[in-house]
Amino acid sequence: MYVSLLKSLNRLNPRAWDFVQLTRIDKPIGIYLLLWPTLWALWISAKGVPSIANLLIFVVGVVLMRAAGCVINDFADRKVDGHVKRTEQRPLVSGKVSAREALVLFAVLIGLSFLLVLLTNAMTIWLSFGGLALAACYPFMKRYTYYPQVVLGAAFSWGMPMAFTAQTGDLPAAAWLLYIANLLWTVGYDTYYAMTDREDDLKIGVKSTAVLFGDADRVIILTLQGLALGCLLLAGSRFELGVYFYCGLLVAAACFGWEFWYTRNREPQRCFQAFLHNHWAGLAIFVGIVTDYGLR
């Protein structure tokens, strides 16, 4: 129904669906994976009672920045996506959207995001420039390093310190435990994503952690996920979270275990499903945090 609603935008403009696909608004999984950790930080920084203003700013900001990230990613990959089966029909590859239009859209989305940040405070505004730099450079990293997923993790986690500064005007050292946890988790699930395209990436020379890890991929992913949970355990102790938070971590651990088992044959489609499945781990942790504060 959600996709049908988006497709109905074509009644307003025959090219609307092309831009929906470019921003991936029709595929909200990326929004979820970016949103849950941001909300972890917002709830913890506010001790369970975030301001309505900050909640709206960060939810809308996540949607805008994820869309902007997709646009600049497709712009950077417009000459290689045609060689990858999964991406060969993307709007920039097919010519439905021009490179210039993509850059204009990226600038508009970034501009709208910055207007939201201006509603916070000076510290958060300054931090936002770091997030912009990470989001803009990530798509180009796969040409130069086998660790583009690390840059993605840094970008996907940047909303967490911003949530702290927006809510409290301060950035405690323990907040970086949340940041590191999410960075490790992102590298893990985006490696599953990269495993989907590994054969095509090897042919065209695109670098990724999936290519780098080789046959050790699943074990390394599980290790990264375990380290992420370890950082969250430490963060839970520092922020005095209770049993419901730890129950959320147990559910997330079960999700990670299932993903490891499910991808045992490394079938590309199963690797992609494992990537999508991480949304439930992030949601479980968020529910644990909300419940922990709500029942005090």
- Cα–Cα dist 277/34, whole Å: 14
What is the share, in percent, of the chain residues with pLDDT greater than 70? 96
Longest dimension (CA), the chain: 55
Q: What is the pLDDT of residue 263?
A: 97
Nearest to 195 by CA among 279, 282, 267, 264: 267
Q: Do residues 157 and 184 touch, judged by C-beta distance below 8 A?
A: no
Mean pLDDT of 53-77: 94
Q: What is the pLDDT of residue 4?
A: 60
Tens of pLDDT, residue by residue over 138-170, are 888 888 899 999 999 999 999 999 999 999 999
Confidence of residue 296 (pLDDT cuts 50, 70, 90): confident
Q: Do residues 277 and 255 touch, judged by C-beta distance below 8 A?
A: yes
- Cα–Cα dist 53/118, whole Å: 12
- Domain spans in the chain, listed from the N-terminal domain onward: 16-294
Helix residue ranges per DSSP H, 46-119? 52-76, 91-94, 99-117
Q: What is the pLDDT of residue 1?
A: 56
Q: What is the pLDDT of residue 11?
A: 64
Confidence of residue 56 (pLDDT cuts 50, 70, 90): very high
- Cα–Cα dist 285/75, whole Å: 33
The percent helix, strand, coil of the chain (3-state, each to 5) is 80, 0, 20
Q: Do residues 182 and 134 touch, judged by C-beta distance below 8 A?
A: no
pTM of the model: 0.93
Q: What is the pLDDT of residue 205?
A: 85
- Cα–Cα dist 28/67, whole Å: 10
Tens of pLDDT, residue by residue over 80-90, are 887 787 887 88
What is the share, in percent, of the chain residues with pLDDT greater than 90? 77
Q: What is the pLDDT of residue 139?
A: 85
CATH number of 16-294: 1.10.357.140
Question: Mean pLDDT in the chain?
Answer: 93
- Cα–Cα dist 185/177, whole Å: 12
